[in-house]
Amino acid sequence: MFPSAPAAGREDTVTLEEAQERATDAAGWVSENWSTWLETGLRILLIIVVAAALRMVIRKTITNLIDRMNRTASAVDGTALGGLLVNAERRRQRSQAIGSVLRSVASFLIVGTAALMILDTFKINLAPLLASAGVAGVAIGFGARNLVTDFLSGVFMILEDQYGVGDTIDAGVATGEVVEVGLRVTKLRGPNGAVWYVRNGEIKRIGNLSQGWSTASVEVTVRADEDLDKVRDTLTEVGAQIAKDEPWNERLWGPVEVLGLDSVLLDSMVVGVSAKTMPGQDVSVERELRWRIKKAFDAAGISIVGGPAELTEEDAADASAGMAAPSAYASAASPQSLAASPIPPPASGPKLGK
| Total-model pTM | 0.48
Other Cβ atoms within 10 Å of 5 Cβ, number: 6
Cα separation, 271 vs 276, in Å, equals: 17
**What does each C-alpha distance from 223 to 27, 126, 153, 252 come to in angstroms?**
114, 86, 53, 29
- The CA distances from residue 21 to 12, 28, 31, 92, 252, in Å, are 17, 10, 15, 72, 98
C-alpha R_g of the chain: 44
Identity of residue 341:
S
Segment (H or E) for 18: helix 16-76
pLDDT in tens, the chain (354 residues): 444 444 444 455 667 777 766 777 666 666 666 677 777 888 888 989 999 999 999 988 888 887 776 666 555 454 444 444 445 666 666 777 778 778 888 888 899 888 888 888 887 777 777 777 777 777 776 667 788 788 888 888 877 778 877 788 888 888 888 888 877 888 899 888 889 999 888 888 888 887 778 888 899 999 888 888 999 999 999 998 998 888 888 888 888 888 888 888 888 889 999 998 888 788 889 999 999 999 999 998 888 876 444 544 554 455 455 555 555 555 666 665 666 666 555 555 555 444
Q: Are 108 and 55 in contact, with CB atoms under 8 Å apart?
A: no
Written as one string, the DSSP assignment of 226-259 is: S-HHHHHHHHHHHHHHHTTSTTHHHHBSS--EEE
Helix, coil or strand: residue 69: helix
Q: Do 256 and 243 form a contact (C-beta atoms < 8 A)?
A: yes
Of residues 321, 325, 305, the one with CA closest to residue 313: 321
Question: How many Cβ atoms sit within 10 Å of the Cβ of residue 258?
Answer: 18
